[in-house]
Amino acid sequence: MPRPSICLGDTVLLADVGNSRIKLAVVEDHGFSMAGGARRLPTVGQRRDIDSRGLRTAQLRDWLRTAAPSAAVILVASVHDAAAGVLEMALAEESATGHRPLRQRRVGHHDLPLMIDLAEPHRVGIDRLAAATAAALIKPAGQGAIVVDCGTAATVDMLSADGRFLGGAILPGPTLMARALAEGTSKLPEVKALEHADPPAMPGRNTQEAIAAGIGWGIRGAIGRLVAAARQSLGEGTPVILTGGWRAAVRDAVPGAIEMPDLVLAGIAMAAERACGR
């Protein structure tokens, strides 16, 4: 099946299919350079988050009703193939009704305007590469950048001064840590709501508080140490860009970080640039 092309006048929708959530959005400004001007970061709006593990067609149809009143192209970037398959089937069924023809395009690493300095770029999560693509555009010229993405898994990735993706580190996020403790032991409970901004009490005065302290302080310490290690390679003044749903929990671990909640979606939107042949 040929991949759909994208033209400047098209309505472009985005789907970031993660392990826990599908993030939906509409591209409001592609950021294409005009008359030799500087390329800008795309802006997105009409955000909607739905559960990756329980997609309801009614939720999708409700969002599409306002996001795409007529024909549109949807760029799908996924780290969860099963959820992406369900989403794409639902989109195809909705398109078949004739109310709003939808052309789908699955985003791969080759669609992103990013230099990937790795032997097997196809094995890197598209969410990491999309975030790096957006970060490479906005980082200061002549400097590298560090991207911290706080999702189901946390990632700390590095960009060189000339914008190459160098790789990074992956570790479990707070919810995944809590689930692993509960499933890997016979008596420890699964502690909920560990992704809040306030640091947990130390010492924990009961088992739940002790788990919260271990995970809460552990994730802060891990992110802080990984950023420090990245700066040893890239330079002490290397800027940090923070994104993801529980980023507030690690603000104090990376003081001065730039927070960009829509970094991954902006990077996915930049795939439209190549699809337009620009």
Active site residue 162: no
Task: Indicate which residue of 10, 16, 111, 127 is catalytic.
Answer: 127
3-state secondary structure the chain: CCCCCCCCCCCEEEEEECCCEEEEEEEEECCCCCCCCCCCCCEEEEEEEEECCCCCHHHHHHHHHHHCCCCEEEEEEECCHHHHHHHHHHHHHHHHCCCCCEEEEECCHHHCCCEECCCCHHHCCHHHHHHHHHHHHHCCCCCCEEEEEECCEEEEEEECCCCEEEEEEEEECHHHHHHHHHHHCCCCCCCCCCCCCCCCCCCCCCHHHHHHHHHHHHHHHHHHHHHHHHHHHHCCCCCEEEEECCHHHHHHHCCCCEECCCHHHHHHHCHHHHHCCC
Active-site positions read 127
